[in-house]
Amino acid sequence: MSADWALVRRAVCEGRARDMVSPYDVAHGGYGLVYLATPYTFHARLGRGRWATEQAVAKAARLAWLGVTAISPIAIAEPMCGANSGLDPLDEEFWSGWCGPLLKRAEAVLVADIPGWHQSAGCCYEAIECLRSGRPLLIEAETAEVWG
């Protein structure tokens, strides 16, 4: 899986996706369940999987304080791997399938501004799936800074 953000970039330019979204914007958007897309694999390969998980948990907690029900698959999945489960945190095929039902049920997707988000194949895939389904795609970062 590779991160090809061209479709997302075009959606932002066309107004079908929003960037520079704050947690307050999400809270006032009236969304039910929000899928929180965060980078993990890149960080895990560098031994920073726990750090990436903590970042995802912090984002989900901030949204919770604002009244947003956000699901962070990383916040759930990474501890599952450390529970002598035999699950591999880097098995992209397994986790893509596991995350699929969560992604399909979310009313919106928020790509969190966590370092590495724009290089993340998982975040890119989740953003594109959101766009294809016609649901709101929200990106915390200012994409112009990343994409030029």
Backbone angles phi, psi at 110, to 5 degrees: -115, 120
Which of the four pLDDT bands, split at 50, 70 and 90, describes residue 148?
A: low
* Two structure tokens written together for 112: 């969190």
> Any idea what DSSP says for residue 119?
G
Which one is the CATH code of 6-147: 3.90.79.10, 2.170.120.20, 3.10.330.20, 3.40.50.10400? Answer: 3.40.50.10400
Over residues 22-38, the mean pLDDT reads 96
Q: How high is the pLDDT of residue 2?
A: 64
Summarised one tens digit per residue, pLDDT across range 60-90 is 999 999 999 999 999 999 889 888 899 998 9
Give the chain's mean pLDDT. Answer: 92
Which residues is 139 bridged to in the sheet?
Answer: 111
Name the amino acid, one letter, at 24. Y
> Residues near 48 by Cβ (< 8 Å), separated by ≥ 6?
none
